[in-house]
Structure 1
Amino acid sequence: MRFKLFPVIALLLFGCSAPQKMRSSTSGNAVPTAISALKFLDEYEIPFGLKYSNTWVGGLSGIDYDRKNNRYYIICDERSATSPSRFYTAAIRIKGNKIDTVQFTGVHTMRMQNGKAFPSLKEGAQEAADPESIRFNPKTNRLVWSSEGDRAERNGRVNIKDPWIWEMDLNGHYLDSFALPRNMHVQTIEKGPRVNGVFEGLGFADNYKTLFVSVEEPLYEDGPRADVEYAGAPVRIIKYDVSTKKPLAEYAYLLDAVAHQPVPDNGFRVNGISEILAINNNRLLVIERSFSIGNAHCTIKIYRADLRDATDVTAMSGLNKNKTYRPISKKLLLNLDSLNRYIDNIEGITIGPRLPDGNFSLLLIADNNFSKEEKTQVFLFEIIP
């Protein structure tokens, strides 16, 4: 989802402690599967208007780390307005506990099934992509990415476009797609997913055998959106079998209330999931992003979510009223409102390389929406075991 964001804050935060566990990646390096706290280390700002290989660097909406090759994949959420829908590769050099440089090393056009680049909304709304998240699978050497779809009047007609999760090669060519659950089809009536509130987050788990996909806001049939005085709006997290590309289950995650009253009172406000990151087979880091017009900042929270006891709600509807299911449990790790630093529109998260003390790094990336009033930031944290 894109909207204008303003200053927030970041420094040092503690959560509840847990013994550190590790799992092996394909490169043989262990990565953390349990996180008790995050410690802020550094911020790096990518200049506004930066051009790379004749593209405008901005709208960076997802990031993932290829540990074996020390390479980052970063997706751009531009709908082919200035350049075709694309993703970048980058080298992020961490020196000590600081980000020394962020250097873009490649850009790749993402392509439709017919091999052509995606058109812009003006050129072809029915085919245009709305990229949001990207994950690298070292088992297959492929990338998975999500698009939110569309439900809006475009060029004089209402455009209905389903969201998707696609697999592509490292050059952006389409390879395969994940099956879309029946309740995730965009419709002309108020049923199914809300516009600009669908597949925002992706996370591989179980040694890349499963993929979690987060929906940003509640389906229409699951009740109203989060609001200032409404906590507990249910959003769905889908679990997929990577080999069959079919959904295995859906789980309900209950959002916090919108953090701040908008100005005016009836102004735009939102809270939803902007990204997820799997840390083991049943636990995710979940980013909740809240914004209210007229406020000087947005509120970013990172939760540790546990799916072990959650109910499969695939066959259920009306989750806001149905009290027979168990939602995903969640524990707050980091609330950026409690810190003292400007933080913009956080949409990407990944575990990075080890730091000098042996602990792993965590990186966040902010989407500047191609606006001079916002910043493209990369934040570096230490994962405390």
Structure 2
Amino acid sequence: MRLRPVLATVTAGLAVATCLGAAAPANSRLQEGSCSSRVDIDSYSDALDKTEFQGSFVGNFSALAVDTDGDIAAVSDRSELFGLDRASLRPKSVVHLADEKGAQLDSEGLAVERDGSRLVSSETEPSVRRYSRDGALLGSLPVPDALRVAPAGRATRNLTFEGLTLQPGGRTLVAAMEGPIAGDGPGIVRLQTWRRHGQKQEFRLAEQYGYRADAKLGISEATATGDGRLLVLERGFTAGVGNTVRLYLADLRHATDVSDVEYVTEQDVTGQDGIRLVRKTLLADIADCPSLGAPAKQPQPNPLLDNIEAMAVTSRAPGRLHLLLASDDNQNSAQITRFYRLSVRLPRH
């Protein structure tokens, strides 16, 4: 989502140096690298900030996903899909995406299928489209009418499909709305799912769930943990103060399917037989992470913070995930394209 106007002039070349926070000794790691009891920050890098690759601005990142070869796929909200080296994060490729009429997308979510095709959500309509590795449009998924941008539906422009992820096995796709649709209660956003059916394994609309975001925050990304749960980034921005970014664990089990519920109101949620929202557990407020000496270009509660909008699980071990996060600089001189590597210890399922 583009939160700030474009101010920056693109600079040429790719910086070689990175700003990686050194790993702390084992006996001091919790104290020095801890964001919370469950999340550590391992490093950050500003190496791609205000750089170019093959004539394309490297930035505006809105989603990340691990590709079939282990490298990183990164989509920008300016219709460009980058391939990044898994270790250095240097760009290796870039392709341009477009809709059925050749128009630019406001790409916000990304999931990579086993065959290498890319599922990309755009918050313009909103939509979920499938693309080949080389950027060819292969098709699109159905979207509920209520989630479409008004007047076609009840959604607000720039507050639609911000997160996109595939659950284990690739049979269920989840898209997270950034903000509520008209008529729903304050802060209650909808998570839409699709499930594969038939010989062609095509995605069809499935359950829809309500999720309550924190006050003044919206969902900027949702990523599967691998055990059926989701990691959810909630984000907001206050002028003169900076960004708020919180990492939650979301469990869809026992949540009510609201696909046939026209309005999910506060009364519906709090009543005796009320709608059960997705249960969420705070893992960390990123403002509580050590700053690692990171600079900030504008006021921030923690100089490490920026407009964090993208997240991918890069590796898994029993009870532990390694994450890669990225900020969307909006091609703005007051913001930074910054990558973050975090380690997360999940509570038991």
Settle same-fold status: TM greater than 0.5. Answer: yes
Q: CA deviation at 1:351?
A: 1.2
Aligned equivalents of 1:331 and 1:49: distance in 2? Answer: 35
Q: Spell out, residue by residue over 1:221-255, the C-alpha distance to the aligned partner (whole angstroms, 9 max, x if none).
A: 2144xxxxxxxx21000111143322101100011
Assess if the C-alpha contact under 8 Å between 1:285 and 1:302 holds in 2. Answer: yes
Q: Spell out, residue by residue over 1:33-84, the C-alpha distance to the aligned partner (whole angstroms, 9 max, x if none).
A: xxxx221110011343311001111101111112x51211000112xxxxxx
Q: Spell out, residue by residue over 1:80-130, the C-alpha distance to the aligned partner (whole angstroms, 9 max, x if none).
A: xxxxx211001031xxxxxxx32100000113336x4x3xxxxxxxxx421
Question: 5 Å matches for 1:214-253?
Answer: 214-224=176-186, 233-242=187-196, 243-253=201-211
Amino acid at match of 1:210: T
TM-score between the two structures when normalised by the length of structure 2: 0.80
Aligned equivalents of 2:4 and 2:44: distance in 1? Answer: 20
Look up the match of 1:70. Answer: 70
Amino acid at match of 1:74: A
Say if 2:326 is the partner of 1:380. no
Say if 2:348 is the partner of 1:361. no
Assess if the C-alpha contact under 8 Å between 1:177 and 1:245 holds in 2. Answer: no
Over the residues paired in the alignment, what is the CA RMSD in angstroms? 2.3
Say if 2:111 is the partner of 1:135. yes
Q: CA deviation at 1:11?
A: 4.1
Say if 2:165 is the partner of 1:171. no
Question: 5 Å matches for 1:179-328?
Answer: 179-188=142-151, 192-224=154-186, 233-242=187-196, 243-258=201-216, 271-280=217-226, 282-295=228-241, 297-321=242-266, 322-323=268-269, 324-328=274-278
Identity fraction in percent: 26
Match of 1:87 among 51, 72, 81: 81
- Give unmatched runs, 5+ long, in structure 1: 16-36, 79-84, 94-100, 119-127, 150-161, 225-232, 259-270
Assess if the C-alpha contact under 8 Å between 1:112 and 1:173 holds in 2. Answer: no
Question: Measured at CA, do residues 340 and 4 of structure 1 come closer, stay the same or move farther in structure 2, by a change above 3 Å?
Answer: farther
Say if 2:305 is the partner of 1:343. yes
Q: CA deviation at 1:329?
A: 0.4
Say if 2:127 is the partner of 1:147. no
Aligned equivalents of 1:87 and 1:173: distance in 2? Answer: 12
Look up the match of 2:35. Answer: 13
Aligned equivalents of 2:258 and 2:181: distance in 1? Answer: 13
Aligned equivalents of 1:201 and 1:367: distance in 2? Answer: 14
Assess if the C-alpha contact under 8 Å between 2:48 and 2:59 holds in 1. Answer: no
Look up the match of 2:282. Answer: 332
Q: CA deviation at 1:360?
A: 4.5
Deviation larger for 357-366 or 374-383: 357-366
Aligned equivalents of 1:90 and 1:173: distance in 2? Answer: 19
Secondary structure at the counterpart of residue 183 of structure 1: helix
Look up the match of 1:51. Answer: 52
Aligned equivalents of 2:138 and 2:227: distance in 1? Answer: 25
Deviation larger for 276-285 or 304-313: 276-285
Say if 2:332 is the partner of 1:371. yes
- Give unmatched runs, 5+ long, in structure 2: 6-31, 292-303
Aligned equivalents of 2:321 and 2:287: distance in 1? Answer: 24
- How many residues were matched structurally? 299
Amino acid at match of 1:247: L
Q: Spell out, residue by residue over 1:176-233, the C-alpha distance to the aligned partner (whole angstroms, 9 max, x if none).
A: 11101121122238x6111100000011014000001000000012144xxxxxxxx2
